[in-house]
Chain A
Amino acid sequence: DAKTTQPPSMDCAEGRAANLPCNHSTISGNEYVYWYRQIHSQGPQYIIHGLKNNETNEMASLIITEDRKSSTLILPHATLRDTAVYYCIVRPYSGGYQKVTFGTGTKLQVIP
């Protein structure tokens, strides 16, 4: 199963776009990219997922490169409540989460 690489931490000014990168160079054709976030010590929260097309929902946008080896999660107007650890994971379409590795993610600090 593919693993992901994320920067350990990032800062973003409040109101600006937060762009969180993720490298998944060994991703397979049937694997999706998922993003979750964990605010303080709460349970992780699902944000968005995609296969190869860009995706947008009410929380964020997901940009996946054409070769699918990396992606970027975009929070268009970061607020203080977006301060959290963001996890990028990959998982196969027909698989569960048992082989998913939640690494240490990117700690995003939104600054007033």
Chain B
Amino acid sequence: DSGVTQTPKHLITATGQRVTLRCSPRSGDLSVYWYQQSLDQGLQFLIQYYNGEERAKGNILERFSAQQFPDLHSELNLSSLELGDSALYFCASSVGQTNTEAFFGQGTRLTVV
């Protein structure tokens, strides 16, 4: 158990819909990262938050957005869903920005039908 909690574990929804994925980082971790992993692909960095502020953006679509709340949990919002958005979505957290390892949650498997 990494200490990072993601909910829900599985999500099935229809095209055009909107979903919210939730991530609770390890206690004390200020950085939260979101990644997308499509079938047999590597992890694609989407976005990072640090202590409530957006710190970096990767290849995140405009239909996707995220935020980190004062209690440091984070949510990834995916809207106008398309079949190609079906993937595993992982959240990771780390203490800060320097030489620390990241701890990953178990992911949310999103299936768009």
Contacts and interface: CB of A to CB of B under 8 A. Distances in A.
Interface in B35-49: 35, 40-43, 45, 48
Given A94-B97, A97-B33, A98-B48, A45 B104 contact: yes
Nearest to B48: A98
Number of chain A interface residues as a range? 20 to 34
B48 A46 contact: no
Given A96-B48, A96-B56, A104-B42, A46 B107 contact: no
Interface string A7-42: 000000000000000000000000010100000011
A103 interface: yes
A45 B45 contact: no
Contacts of B48: 96-98
Interface string B52-81: 000110100000000000000000000000
Interface string A46-77: 10010000000000000000000000000000
Contacts of A32: 99
Contacts of A99: 45, 56
A5 interface: no
B97 A105 contact: no
A93 B48 CA distance: 17
Given A96-B31, A96-B55, A97-B48, A43 B106 contact: yes
A46 B94 CA distance: 11
Interface of B: 2, 4, 31, 33, 35, 40-43, 45, 48, 50, 55-56, 58, 88, 90, 92, 94, 97-99, 101-107, 109
